[in-house]
Amino acid sequence: MATVYAVGVGPGDPELLTRKAERVLRSVDVILAPVSNPSEASVALSTIREFINEERQEIIIHQFPMTSDKARLIPAWQEAAALIAAHAEAGRSVAFITIGDPLFYSTFIYLLRLLREQWPLVPIEIIPGISSINAAAAQAALPLVEGDEKMVVIPATAGIEVINAALDTYETVVLLKVKPLFSAIIELLRSTGKEQSTVFVERVGSSRQKVLTDFNEIAAHSPDYLSLLIIK
């Protein structure tokens, strides 16, 4: 039985991989890269290209639809878990690669549950990665929290009411998945006087990275999926 690794590859910069992640990626037999749209490249896979050998290692691109519809997601998770388990049982080590950290809003969390329930003998090792939040704060040179301060991370899809309540309660609010509600979030930040204390970060760690601190520029921008807001 070979080991299944969940490897956090960080936000997109190959230099932000840990040495352990690099060692595991160079050694495994199979690499499974998630994509939400088959016509788009896997960000995780592009991040690790330089560490892998496509002649010796099998690369599998697996599609996980970008939806909250469990009827579409569960079969994709089940199929991926079965594929991973089959390789491990046949003695081939597998790395499931994930952007940022594998236990932080990652598809791997669902696979981990299925693997533990249905293939309890498959050994699993998790290699943490630098999350987009830490990488974004570093690029903006923005302290996330200090002393007794408290921080909350909210997928913006939770809704404007949840975000509004958080702005009242925490010294730092980090919003992920901001794209779908971007205009409503901008309105909320204006009406709560957060214009001067908001930082927008998109595609951190990549050549398309954008760090915006000017609120008018943030408001005029049309964000892509890989973007977040840090509000102090």
- Count of beta carbons in the 10 Å neighbourhood of residue 232: 17
Q: Which amino acid is at 208?
A: R
Q: How far is CA 29 from CA 4, 62, 99, 137, 227, in A?
A: 10, 16, 20, 35, 32
Closer to ligand SAM by Cβ: residue 93 or 106 = 106
Closer to ligand SAM by Cβ: residue 74 or 90 = 74
Residue with tokens 């901008």: 186
Instruction: Report, in Å, the least distance between residue 177 CB and ligand SAM.
Output: 4
Q: Measured between alpha carbons, how far is 44 from 58 in angstroms, rounded to an integer?
A: 15
Instruction: Report, in Å, the least distance between residue 120 CB and ligand SAM.
Output: 25
Binding site for ligand SAM (CB under 6 A): 11-12, 98-101, 104-106, 131-132, 136, 176-177, 201-205, 225-228
Instruction: Report, in Å, the least distance between residue 204 CB and ligand SAM.
Output: 4
Closer to ligand SAM by Cβ: residue 11 or 218 = 11
Instruction: Report, in Å, the least distance between residue 227 CB and ligand SAM.
Output: 5
Closer to ligand SAM by Cβ: residue 84 or 100 = 100
